[in-house]
Structure 1
């Protein structure tokens, strides 16, 4: 979906409900999952032990961390132009209603669809933006693997 030409800080309210489309797919291969485990200290075997996962999981594979999926949201939002070009800054304000709906096996490519769900005035030059983010495997787009509402404080 294209970014509306009049999409600016002052017109955020006019664009609630806008679908920004889907991000470029990101492949969640085993090396990426391993690096995430190393960074976070979450080295549970279901994520990093390929041989054990092959024999002891229903998927026959390791799976990506849910928080790895969640961490893909900011880059997807910037790629899709979710924040107005005239904003001086955007601060991560948090997440609401995060749900991991299906396991993501190693090697799966994930895309995120982003919709502007709500905006709230938070005082002069500050607007809280709520986005609905839906992650899905590129080879199975009909079934989301994660849904999450993200919050960003947009500064004029």
Structure 2
């Protein structure tokens, strides 16, 4: 997949997997920092001894929202950039499902399939990706979702006829 595409090329990618990110390690320091940032210090995330003894996971697990938030880095890593883009905006998610826990010390990577790309207004392109986060050596993904983003560009760069 090319690292950069033009607005005119985006329609050709609808229905295809446009990127698989590099692996990201999810370790205890990352989980602890996320717990501090979100004030979510539930023991299954931050207390390895207690999580090993009392949870069904055998140790600590990442917050689901931590895994979800890693999609930004994964997207930046592997989804082709649009040459005319001036800014990207996170519009939201549909059907987010946390399918399997991400255990501390494991690696995850994102899979991105472009399912829709439509122009909205003079200088906006709305894109929808089916995303999943794979856990290394696991059958089930950590999460699945439809991620909606808005690509802003100068209206003079909009392709004719769209």
1:102-148 Cα distance to aligned partner (Å, 9 max, x none): 111111100111111111221111111111111011222x4212101
- Structure 2 residue matching 1:144: 3-state secondary structure: coil
TM-score (norm 1): 0.91
The alignment covers a number of residue pairs equal to: 153
* Structure 2 residue 17 is matched with structure 1 residue 24: no
| 1:58 to partner: Cα distance | 1.3
Name the counterpart of 1:127: 125
Name the counterpart of 2:150: 153
Consecutive unaligned residues of structure 2, counting only runs of 5 or more, are: 154-162
Please identify, of 39-48 and 9-18, the stretch whose mean Cα deviation from structure 2 is larger. Answer: 9-18
Paired residues of 1:82 and 1:116 also in contact (CA < 8 A): no
Output the CA distance in 2 between the equivalents of 1:127 and 1:83.
13
Output the CA distance in 2 between the equivalents of 1:4 and 1:11.
13
Name the counterpart of 1:114: 112
| 1:98 to partner: Cα distance | 0.4
* Structure 2 residue 101 is matched with structure 1 residue 88: no
* Structure 2 residue 46 is matched with structure 1 residue 48: yes
- Structure 2 residue matching 1:12: 3-state secondary structure: helix
After the TM superposition, which segments of 4 or more aligned residues of structure 1 sit over 3 Å from their partners?
none
* Structure 2 residue 6 is matched with structure 1 residue 3: no
| 1:77 to partner: Cα distance | 1.0
Change (3 A) 1:111 1:77: same
1:20-52 Cα distance to aligned partner (Å, 9 max, x none): 231111111111000000011111111111111
Root-mean-square deviation (CA, aligned residues, Å) is 1.5
- Structure 2 residue matching 1:102: 3-state secondary structure: coil
Output the CA distance in 2 between the equivalents of 1:33 and 1:91.
25
